[in-house]
Amino acid sequence: MRAMRADRPGPIESNPLAPVDVPVPEPGSGQIRVRVSVCGICLTDLHELEQDLPWKGPVVPGHQVVGVVDALGPGVDRLSPGDRVGLAWLGRTCGKCRFCVTGRENLCEAAEFTGYDFPGGYAEYALGHQQFAYRLPGELNEIQTAPLLCAGIIGYRALRLSGAQSGLRLGLYGFGASAHIAIQIARHRSSEVYVFTRSQEHQKLAEQLGAAWVGRAEDTPPHKLDASIVFAPAGPLVREALRVTDRGGTVALAGIHMSPTPELDYRDHLYWERCLRSVANNTREDGEELLRAAAEIPVRTHTQTYPLSEANQALQDLKTCRIDGAGVLLIG
């Protein structure tokens, strides 16, 4: 089968992903094989290749996988060949640790991740564990659905952890794949959304999707914010977000990696019960809730497509903010 694999890390400008022809994988116990149709690209893929995350050896990235179940391993009883499914970042957990048994499987210390601990969706076929595969609603097409499987799920979890509620003012820092989904959910819930991004194209998209105000991170919005989510992996944004957060507000950090955060002043940035918290991975419940909400609202993702062979170029465009919305690789 065709795949794009990185045998060694490096800046995405050095084109670390190379085309390879590898055997079609055989599913093991509890696994399904998915014939991949499309796979979304993600900042996490960049962080893997550029070693912002620990390098784990040759990798086929991709954790926003949409396709059809093609084969079943022993013991699979939840899915059938022909089922339309998605594979997301959380690929497997132990199910037994104190985090798993208390509904916090996103914190499992033995968790395995799609496209990181095992090969992902930058390939014609991918394996997944049946309990961590999502049945996909038919309301959205494959390309529209792919960004929901990480950008959507993480944005949904970040919205919840930020405490954003109907009628409150929500700030979004960075306006890429995740934020352009989160704003649709927040607006559906009657939140007033303020978007901070340096890209003029992203500012235009934010306005089209109902932002009450758009500006740059260093700008001061017309009102203090009740909650904010920082999607861009830039540490200095933490201080900027807390600067305009009202009393009792929360700033949630939605990235798996972030550059160093500047020193904070307790009085200016944290006092009055302002809260700063990270968002780590997701639970399967997050994914199921997001997919239901996306179908009901409905969420419409803005996408830019690339052939699998142009995965390096797609990630370069992502790194330099040349994608409005989300990038998706066409595979099947």
Q: Is the pLDDT of residue 138 over 80?
A: no
Question: What residues pair up with 228 in beta bridges, in sequence order?
Answer: 171, 251
Rounded to whole angstroms, how far apart are CA atoms 257 and 208?
29
Q: Are residues 255 and 326 in the same domain?
A: no
264: closest CA among 293, 288, 235? 235
Q: What is the pLDDT of residue 20?
A: 98
For the sheet with 275-278, list strands across it. 213-215, 192-196, 169-173, 225-230, 245-253, 275-278
**121 and 161 belong to one structural domain:** no
Q: What is the CATH number of the domain that holds 200?
A: 3.40.50.720
Task: Say whether both 157 and 187 belong to one domain.
Answer: yes
Using a pLDDT cut of 90, give the percent of the chain over it: 96
Mean pLDDT, rounded, of the chain: 96
Give the chain's domain count.
Answer: 2
> What confidence category does residue 165 fall into, taking pLDDT thresholds of 50, 70 and 90?
confident
Residue 179: per-residue pLDDT: 97
Query: Of 258, 278, 298, which residue constitutes the final position of a domain?
Result: 278
- Are both 45 and 158 inside the same structural domain? no
Q: What's the pLDDT tens digit per position in 219-240?
A: 999 999 999 999 999 999 999 9
Are 269 and 311 members of one domain?
A: no
Q: 260 and 127, same structural domain?
A: no
226 and 170 share one domain: yes
**pLDDT class of 323 with cuts at 50, 70, 90:** very high
Question: By the 8 A CB rule, do 230 and 252 touch?
Answer: yes
CATH code of the domain in which 11 resides: 3.90.180.10
**Pairwise CA distance, residues 154 & 330, whole Å:** 22
- C-alpha 152/C-alpha 172 separation (Å) is 14
Q: What Å distances lie between residue 136 and 57, 120, 233, CA to CA?
A: 31, 18, 29
C-alpha span between 302 and 265 (Å, rounded): 38
Domain boundaries, position 267: 152-278
Say which range, 78-87, 91-100, 159-168, 274-283, has the weakest mean pLDDT: 159-168
- Asked if residue 130 and residue 12 are part of one domain, the reply reads yes
How far is C-alpha 136 from the chain's CA centre? Answer: 17
Domain boundary among 234, 255, 278: 278
313 and 180 in a single domain? The answer is no
Q: How far apart (Å, rounded) are the C-alpha atoms in residues 330 and 332?
A: 6
Q: Are residues 143 and 290 in the same domain?
A: yes
Q: Give 132-187 as a DSSP string.
A: GEEEPPTTS-HHHHGGGGTHHHHHHHHHHHHT--TTSEEEEES-SHHHHHHHHHHH
Question: What is the average pLDDT across 267-275?
Answer: 96
H or E segment and range at residue 128: strand 125-129
Q: Cα angle at 79 between 78 and 85, to 5 degrees?
A: 125
Does position 157 have pLDDT exceeding 80, yes or no? yes
Same-domain status, 43 and 72:
yes
Same-domain pairing of 81 and 116: yes
Q: Among 278, 293, 314, where does a domain finish?
A: 278
**Are 275 and 116 contacting, i.e. CB atoms less than 8 angstroms apart?**
no
Q: At residue 139, does pLDDT exceed 80?
A: no
